[in-house]
Amino acid sequence: MEYLLRDLRRTHYTGSVTEDVIDEEVTIMGWVHEIRDLGGIIFLLIRDIEGRIQVTAPSKKLPAEILEDIRALRKESVVAIKGKVQSSSKAPNGVEILPSEITVLNMADQPLPMDPTEKVKAEIDTRLNSRFLDLRKTGVSAIFKIRNQMFKSIREYFADNNIIEINTPKLVASATEGGTELFPITYFEREAFLGQSPQLYKQMMMSAGFDKVYEIGQIFRAEEHDTLRHLNEAISIDMEASFMDDTDVKNILNDMMVKLINDVNDNCSNELDILDYKLEVPQGKFQDIDYDEAVDLINARGIEMEYGEDLSREAEKVLGDAMDDFYFLSGWPTEIKPFYVMPCEDQSQKCHAFDLMYKNLELSSGATRIHQYDLLVEQMIAKDLSPESFESYLKAFKYGMPPHAGWGLGADRLNMVLTGVENIRECVLFPRDRHRLTP
RNA sequence: GCCUUGGUGGUGUAGGGGCUAUCAUGCGGGCCUGUCGAGCCCGCGACUCGGGUUCAAAUCCCGGCCAAGGCGCCA
């Protein structure tokens, strides 16, 4: 038995062991997915990031030591296998490897805390407790391959539109935009908090003249929610643009979503197949419904709702059923939106805020922001916030803040939409919720 | 935080006052030269915790802990 890599290196991933390399000697590295010992012949399935390949060991053609090594293997152990690629109509992909050297890089203990071959299903709690094993499953890793494409496309879109990537602090003093509970932490001898959103910082970047910015980063909310679509640590995709209003940034969001979904369809068809999910590409402009109309529609469908309220879960569901998959919900009451949202000129009880919905799931919230110092202070006072505690933010509005607008988009929720999974925890490697802080 | 349902081998389950506690997968051993959810044979391994009712509790009752789903909060 051998445990060190030494000068051993992989020559091929399983995906490139194809008919093109027949008769070549290859070295693959990965996990022992399955061992089928038929006595005179043993089949091994070796798995790596790209898939699986069959290693075939007929006893009469191979030295006894190799057969012994194979019989000593345990499932999910990590191995390096050197061997010759041969064509076989009986092998899963038409090719198999005849091993000449097997190196065990790490033997796995048994029994495993869950079954990574998906023969016996496991509950989400069991799966998350052994997430490293759960993630070895093709159906689980497919979600994260799509997630990777999602961020790649989004970054491409922003880069193509000259939107600058920024990073803002996640350790913040106290001033918050309200609305949510924060996680308190100890910052040397002071109290501080984990950031709920980059909102105030990305707005300050407008005053800094960066014109259009975006950030993809962690946000933290200390709410005791317990649903399939909330997390206490999430990834937010935030953008903010100067000299634009809500209509302009809605268009940006709309275009980005269409590009993104096309990209996922084009580049992740294999992963979508594994998940057995068909991703519909939205056509052109998303439907856009005014808040007032939405309230009427919800009431007309038998769910009671007052003007000025936020949507209940039931209301979201009937609205989602009535609309296209993607739609904007616009013209929200000023009362229930944050202080920095620009009220409408003609009727200040409504504001230039919108949500992007997918069926009954809120994906994004955005708005034209207030850029005038006096109005901003007025709105803060109206929401019982103290302008003194926002001093460092407000300062940016006194010396030349351009009109601007922006949005924040929940990356994990977007990942749900792209993969069709129903529990947001499925879209996060190591989710943080009300009850879970490990692994 | 509230409501509902649940907690049985490593995993997923059946059972629901008295059984040697079901099945699958897994694990250990044996047979087998074309498996591909391999097959066949033998074996291993479990009733969430604390009280209570009862001759007898995995099963009924009360409480705790934990989980799943729904709601609320929130995005």
The reply to whether the CB atom of residue A93 sits less than 7 A from any atom in nucleic acid chain B is no
pLDDT in tens, A48-78: 999 999 999 999 999 988 999 999 999 999 9
Average pLDDT over residues A87-110: 92
Could you write out the DSSP letters of every residue in A266-330? HH-HHHHHHTT---PPPPSSPEEEEHHHHHHHHHHTT----TTPPPPHHHHHHHHHHS-SEEEEE
Is pLDDT of A1 > 80? no
| List of A residues 97-156 with CB within 7 A of strand B | 110-115, 119-126
**Chain B bases near protein CB atoms (7 A cut-off):** 1-2, 10-13, 24-28, 31-39, 66-75
Task: Give the pTM.
Answer: 0.93
pLDDT at A211 over 80: yes
Residue A175 has pLDDT above 80, yes or no: no
Residues whose CB is less than 8 angstroms from the CB of residue A72 and which lie 6 or more positions away in sequence, other chains included: A1, A104
Closest CA to the C1' of B70: that residue is: A227
Proportion of chain A above pLDDT 90, given as a percent: 83
Determine whether A406 is exposed, middle or buried from the number of CB atoms within 10 Å of its CB (0-12, 13-18, 19+).
buried
Nearest nucleotide (C1') to the CA of residue A58?
B33
Q: For chain A, give the mean pLDDT.
A: 93
pLDDT band at A47, cuts 50/70/90? Answer: very high
Q: Report CA(A290)–C1'(B39) in Å, whole number.
A: 64
ipTM for the complex shown: 0.89
Residue-wise pLDDT tens digits, A215-233: 999 999 998 888 999 999 9
Flag whether pLDDT at A180 surpasses 80.
no
CB atoms within 10 A of CB A159: 12
Report residues 335-364 of A contacting strand B, contact meaning Cβ closer than 7 Å. Answer: 355, 362
Confidence of residue A132 (pLDDT cuts 50, 70, 90): very high
pLDDT at A20: 93
Q: How far is the CA of A257 from the C1' of B3 (A)?
A: 37
**pLDDT tens-place string over residues A21-37:** 999 999 999 999 999 99
A308 Cβ nearer than 7 Å to chain B strand = no
Predicted confidence at residue A41, as pLDDT, reads 94
A349 CA – B11 C1', rounded, Å: 56
pLDDT (0 to 100) of residue A4: 87
How long is the CA A277 to C1' B69 vector, in angstroms? 23
Residues A280-289: pLDDT tens digits?
Answer: 888 889 999 9
Interatomic distance A74 CA / B40 C1' (Å): 22
What pLDDT score was predicted for residue A438? Answer: 87
Q: Within 7 Å: CB of A428 and strand B? A: no
What's the pLDDT band for A92 if we cut at 50, 70, 90? confident
Inform me whether the pLDDT recorded for A354 exceeds 90: yes
- Kind plus residue range of the DSSP H or E element containing A47: strand A41-48
Distance in Å, residue A111 CA to nucleotide B40 C1' = 23
* Closest residue (CA to C1') to nucleotide B38 in the complex: A36
